[in-house]
Structure 1
Amino acid sequence: MPETNELEQFAEEFFQDIVNEAESGGWKEDIFFDKFTDYLVDSGEMNEAIRASYQPANGNLRVDGYCGDPLDSRATADPDEPLTLGLIILDFHQGADLQTLGTRDMNAIFNRLMRYLDSALKPQWRKSLEVSDPGFGLADLIHTRWNRITKIRLYLLTNKALSSRIDGKTAGDYQNRSVNYSVWDIRRLFALSKSMNGQEPLRVNFGEKPLHPLRALLASAPNAANPVYLAAVPGNDLARIYDRWGARLLEQNVRVFLQARSNVNKGIKRTLESEPELFFSFNNGITATAEHIETEMTRDGLNILSLDNLQIVNGGQTTASIYAAYRAGKDLSKVFVQMKLSIVDPQQAEDLVPRISEYANSQNKVSQADLFANHPFHVRIESFSRRILAPAQEGSFNQTKWFYERARGQYGDAQAYMSRADKNKFLAEYPKSQKFAKTDLAKYAMVWTDKAYYVNRGAQKNFAEFAKDITEQWTEDNTQFNEYYYKTLIAQKIIWDTAEKIIPQMAWYEAGGYRSQHVVLAIGLVAEAARQANRKIDYELIWDAQELDEPFKQALREAADAVHPVLMHPMQGYRNISEWAKQPKCWEAVKQLHVNWNQAWLNELISPREEWRRNRRSSKEQRETNGIEYTAAVVNMGAQFWKDVAQWLIAENEGDEKERGCVNVAASIPSRIPSDKQSAVIVQLMKRLAKAGCPYRMKNIE
């Protein structure tokens, strides 16, 4: 349990962040919902979280959001698979002091959420609501999916501390559907944010019911640095583990397998249903990693008792299909899944787990976009964010930086052991408002493309689409991701943040009124206006000012006014506004809008040639930087390393004449130093050979 003063400090800072953001525009409960659910989506607790606030004056029932369309919760492509409905309710204490949530209040809050669910299934009640009311859209979605929903998850999110006397809430049922309750209080959120990877510790205890100690064989040397085990996991146990931890088990997997629609799932399903005893023989099983293992030796052999941070890096479809069969009530008593388990030192996990994941998937078709979470693009953006100073804002002499979290929790980790003075200095250099993560980056960039609607599909789906685009562009020419690109990205974040403040100030806006959807469509319309005029946004102007001027703010207001009717009045066939905002048809309707833009903003736009000139200059600088970095990396490996590589190339018949020649030059260091071009050839060769199983690896290369 965290120290009380640490928890109180976290609660106060969390609340103050909400207040600060609300002061510049926004409703506190909207901001609280977004900030809280960002943690839960990032950790895999939810696939997505959509704001849908319905709070009638009598306070008898309430809902604040939901975990996306239940169809998206499916583990496989099976059209008959049962669905899970996730509903969210808030208990937001509007004060910095730490309050306690007791049993009576907790139950009362959940009862209000259940009364909303009960009302949502009544036709007369639904008819009493306006179609534009978030309560109606969600109720209509629940009614539409109800016959296939078998499981209901209710989430209570609060900045109070749950009473220590409460150790849980017993699962119930409603209309023959199981109901599970989950309370995320400030203490649990604090544990989530404090842990090294930004998550609650994921510990699987095989020795505790309903699981069973897992029989295993040691498949490596007893004193190996990263021991490997082989095991046959009972199907029921694998399903129960997934039921408890969900997508958290799969976060390192290179596949976005939940979106897969391949025939593999169908084959797995057939085997599970008709020949379960042959599943072990027919299926390739799973590849997994863990950071710590606890075992015991018995008369019958070795048993695994627990695993810390278990990750399934290959076999996502297998796991999800078994879980789907488990939820459907299939008999899995004869099903066993082979597992290859590697124990990885936590200090090496960030580098080693992605490699295990990549190679474990190498026998299957895996696109480069699937590997994007570990792509050098992120390393470069992180490097820019630590190096490039933003111009001082008017009235200040202090220059700041924008902090890119390449890995979850970096911002907090950087301050973990600082003195108060050093922490204040750090926060002055990297203000909280200037921190952003991978999924944030993806939405800032994607909203400016002709696929802006992807941003409304949720952080993970948008990130996957962003990955495809960036991977292709990086392969074509990585120098386009240069300092100008970085400054453009920050300018896009400034535009996004400003739009988030402007939307709640519009006369038509109501609390819970689809803020994020309005932001996406409003910025998207601004981008479309520039495209149609064959002009470009002057991102350099925004970077230099570190804020938007009044003409740009007015353009955002004009865009928001224009997209509001389109968003709030879906086309025939779409009744849920949040789901409508995800559709290409919604985006096409927005693109057809005509707006009389203020001339001052139009005058600020620049020509495509001017933007090309800026990017070209920065690309040249990036190309020179790449060459210097490559040469330094090659020289740092030393002559003996390159002599060994040269011998390996000959022995394995790898590398062409040009590549071998460049390696031979490196083997002559220091009498001969490879040029920047030669070093680039060597680096690209070593990247390719890493995937071919070459035992020699360069360090610190993108």
Structure 2
Amino acid sequence: MNELQEYHQNLMADIRREADAGGIFPLEAFFNLMTDRLTEAGELETADPAHYQFGEGAQKLRIDGYAGDPRDSEGVLGLIICDFSDSDAVQTFGKTDVTPILNPLIRFLKKARSEEFRDALNEENPAFQVSDLVIATWSHVTKVKLILVSNRQYVGRGDAVPLGSMGDVPITWSVWDLARFERFDRSGQAREDILIDFEQDFGGPLPALKASQTGAALESYLLVVPGEQLASIFDRWGARLLEANVRTFLQARAKTNKGIQKTIKDEPELFFPYNNGLSATADDVTCVRTHEGLAISSISNLQVVNGAQTTGSIHSGLKNARDQLRQVFVQMKLTVVPPDRSEEIVPKISEFANTQNKVNAADFFSNHPFHIRIEQFSRSVIFAAREGERHDSKWFYERSRGQYINARGRLTPAQQKKFDLEYPKGQLFSKTDLAKFEYSATGQPFLVSRGAQKNFAEFAKEIGEVWARSDARYDELWYRRLIAKAIVFRKLEADVPKQPWYEGGYRANIVTYAMAKVFHDATSDKQVLDVDAIWRRQAVSDALSRALLVAAAEANDVITHPPSGVRNMSEWAKQQACWSGLKGRQLAYDDDFGSCLTQVESMRTAVRDAKAKKALTEGINAQSEVVTLGAEFWTRMMDWGKTERKLTPKDLQILQICASMPRKIPEDFQARHAMNVLHRLKDQGFETERSS
């Protein structure tokens, strides 16, 4: 069995498990699982289900989902259609098969623009929701993107291929097939390489100044890019040019800068001196010599890591300031970064280049200390076996795509069985999952409903700001309580589709709203939900489960009955007013709901006890390290520190104790201080090993 066949086998098992657990059709489970990947990869900013099919043959209409309000994504209307094969063997399809799959979606779009079609549908019909949105926003649509999502292997070629137009609105299509999802799940690489050929496609090579010496670790170039060229490049590849984490970062802010657009329209000749330009990376560049000197003829996998707002604003000029674009020029600092070093280098380029935002884009990269710490907890914190089960287990935090599947794939079959017991597939969660769990519990379901990436952008912004002040709160107890929230969220996901009042659709919205409501109603000056009981049992009690379903039924009512004038329920769920409507309702929980609560003071005591335990453990570990290093080491470090004038009186006093071992042994707090001094002096030039 090759890797693709193994991936297909595991994917089908996940789809069937999701369908069985949620009481939904396999197609719906497939949509839910795969669109999570689409948003993470940046293909779409959000993906709302809208399953509708009508007619047969040449009259068939079909849609499975859409990418939210196009006004929130620079005028791009994203529509999704699924090609799902419920087969245990890998199936294939080619380019000639694409048109018959996409045509029902195109016919649906044409119909959806008609008020007559919309008004003939029930308002709760997903097709009505999409049609109403299309009619309301069509004047803002600049491009239609059709996404074909398949669990078959595509054997054709082409990505984001033009399909024609609808009036003056261009239509493109792209395929996400089994192989593309497999690449993404293993490595985060989900698309064909971007090759920008300036010489053939964009008016000629770009003059460049090499900004690195021959043989340097990284090549760097300075370029001046004409606005027309940059706009045309972005029009072709869109958000794929924006490094994924920077794109996530910018979703928390305005998509375009009105000041930049004003300069393009009114003073295009001043754009270059006014604008800071772009910082970008590439896998490779091809250089040529022209009569004017060095020039770049092509760039492979260009990624803008700083300057996304500038790029988006210049692209907007194609529509509203095309003549002025001829006078617009933007500077670009381009660094060639080998793919195997991108995770190390690109975040630093983003961080140091980004001076316009208070929170650095690097805060959202998978190697931020917050994510590393959660990953460390997930590999070490053991949870007791659930009632009726034999094995203790852990929750696997995947801070970067592919960690789980690759870690498991390196093992023998016997080791894989052990791995599956230690890290059950149902206990795998990602960065965007973490953000959903947290914001559902803290009363922000309207943010969760805006999609995984937008919600994560807001969450990451908050984490970055709090972490910069102090990282102390994100300790092991915080992690255990996070897992309790994950258990509640996953329990609701499984239970909501089984309820008699559930008519299909909006499950994701109902889950986050119900969870937020219960956490909100449980919180008072004296009591809160007892999340510690949940992670200890690794399960939701019957009393809490009933309370969650009471809240879920009410959430369903609020979401599916928006106020007058609001007709798109998915968009309604993204509004804070929707949460206010549910939050203000009085619910009749069962009498035993009180058993799910605990005193606020007992929760605070648990936090204090956890901090004391952590301090004790760190003190013991520090003492052990100090003793292991030995008195001679501490004497040498103390002498270096005195010579370099790097020590405070307190530092000197504690290092003298360390240097006098074994006659004196430092206390745990003294050992911790000594280790902090060691880390500080190492950063300042102290060499821990003697030079030979």
Superposition TM-score tier, normalisation by shorter sequence: 0.7 to 0.9
Equivalent position of 2:262 in the other structure: 270
Counterpart of 2:372, as a letter, is V
Write the deviation string for residues 246-305 of structure 1: whole angstroms up to 9, x where unpaired. 15523243983355349x923322332344344333322111233444444556433335
1:582 positional shift: 1.1
Range moving further from structure 2, 455-464 or 140-149: 455-464
1:215 positional shift: 2.9
What value does the CA root-mean-square deviation take over the aligned residues? 3.6
Write the deviation string for residues 376-429 of structure 1: whole angstroms up to 9, x where unpaired. 222211110011122123343322211111222222332344333333433332
Equivalent position of 1:116 in the other structure: 108
1:574 paired to 2:566:
yes
Equivalent position of 1:143 in the other structure: 135
1:40 positional shift: 1.3
Matched ranges for 1:119-130 at <5 A? 119-130=111-122
Equivalent position of 2:13 in the other structure: 16
1:35 positional shift: 1.2
Task: Measure, in 2, the Cα distance between the counterparts of 1:65 and 1:416.
Answer: 32
Alpha-carbon contact 2:245-2:364 (below 8 Å) kept = no
Counterpart of 1:99 (choices 91, 102, 105) is: 91
Equivalent position of 1:48 in the other structure: 46
Residues 86 and 165 (structure 1), Cα distance of their counterparts in 2 relative to 1, 3 Å cut: closer
Task: Measure, in 2, the Cα distance between the counterparts of 1:337 and 1:494.
Answer: 49
1:501 paired to 2:498:
no
Name structure 2 gaps, 5 residues minimum: none
* Structure of larger gyration radius: 2
Residues 220 and 52 (structure 1), Cα distance of their counterparts in 2 relative to 1, 3 Å cut: same
Equivalent position of 2:33 in the other structure: 35
1:204 paired to 2:201:
no
Write the deviation string for residues 217-251 of structure 1: whole angstroms up to 9, x where unpaired. 22122122123221222323323433315155232
Equivalent position of 2:484 in the other structure: 491
Task: Measure, in 1, the Cα distance between the counterparts of 2:620 and 2:49.
Answer: 48
Structure with greater contact order relative to length (CA < 8 Å, sep ≥ 6): 1
Task: Measure, in 2, the Cα distance between the counterparts of 1:341 and 1:548.
Answer: 52
1:669 positional shift: 8.4
Task: Measure, in 2, the Cα distance between the counterparts of 1:213 and 1:203.
Answer: 17
Task: Measure, in 1, the Cα distance between the counterparts of 2:44 and 2:641.
Answer: 46
What secondary structure sits across from 2:79 in the alignment?
strand
1:66 paired to 2:57:
no
Matched ranges for 1:408-423 at <5 A? 408-423=401-416
Name structure 1 gaps, 5 residues minimum: 75-82
Equivalent position of 2:22 in the other structure: 25
1:599 positional shift: 2.6
Task: Measure, in 1, the Cα distance between the counterparts of 2:62 and 2:678.
Answer: 58
Counterpart of 1:403 (choices 360, 384, 396) is: 396
1:7 positional shift: 2.0
Task: Measure, in 1, the Cα distance between the counterparts of 2:278 and 2:511.
Answer: 41
Matched ranges for 1:242-253 at <5 A? 242-243=234-235, 244-247=237-240, 249-253=242-246
What secondary structure sits across from 1:230 in the alignment?
strand
What secondary structure sits across from 1:508 in the alignment?
coil
Task: Measure, in 1, the Cα distance between the counterparts of 2:321 and 2:44.
Answer: 23
Equivalent position of 1:79 in the other structure: none
Residues 69 and 433 (structure 1), Cα distance of their counterparts in 2 relative to 1, 3 Å cut: same
Equivalent position of 1:440 in the other structure: 433
Equivalent position of 2:231 in the other structure: 239
Alpha-carbon contact 2:654-2:674 (below 8 Å) kept = no
Residues 361 and 30 (structure 1), Cα distance of their counterparts in 2 relative to 1, 3 Å cut: same
Equivalent position of 1:614 in the other structure: 606
1:302 paired to 2:294:
yes
Counterpart of 1:361 (choices 326, 351, 354) is: 354
Equivalent position of 2:368 in the other structure: 375
Residues 209 and 664 (structure 1), Cα distance of their counterparts in 2 relative to 1, 3 Å cut: farther
What secondary structure sits across from 1:464 in the alignment?
helix
What's the TM-score once normalised by structure 1's chain length? 0.86
Counterpart of 2:499, as a letter, is M
Counterpart of 1:525 (choices 495, 513, 517) is: 517
Counterpart of 2:673 (choices 670, 678, 697) is: 678
Write the deviation string for residues 158-209 of structure 1: whole angstroms up to 9, x where unpaired. 1122344888864211132111112222122223323x33433544333564
Alpha-carbon contact 2:251-2:457 (below 8 Å) kept = no
1:470 paired to 2:463:
yes
Write the deviation string for residues 556-599 of structure 1: whole angstroms up to 9, x where unpaired. 22111122111101012321101110111111110122222123
Equivalent position of 1:336 in the other structure: 329
What is the aligned-residue identity percentage? Answer: 37
Task: Measure, in 2, the Cα distance between the counterparts of 1:46 and 1:581.
Answer: 19
Task: Measure, in 2, the Cα distance between the counterparts of 1:595 and 1:697.
Answer: 64
Task: Measure, in 2, the Cα distance between the counterparts of 1:592 and 1:7.
Answer: 50
Equivalent position of 2:584 in the other structure: 592
What secondary structure sits across from 1:63 in the alignment?
strand
What's the TM-score once normalised by structure 2's chain length? 0.87
Residues 477 and 274 (structure 1), Cα distance of their counterparts in 2 relative to 1, 3 Å cut: closer
What secondary structure sits across from 2:449 in the alignment?
helix
Counterpart of 1:101, as a letter, is F
Residues 310 and 617 (structure 1), Cα distance of their counterparts in 2 relative to 1, 3 Å cut: farther
For these two proteins, the number of residue pairs brought into alignment is: 670
Counterpart of 2:416, as a letter, is K
Counterpart of 1:594, as a letter, is Q
Alpha-carbon contact 1:480-1:619 (below 8 Å) kept = no
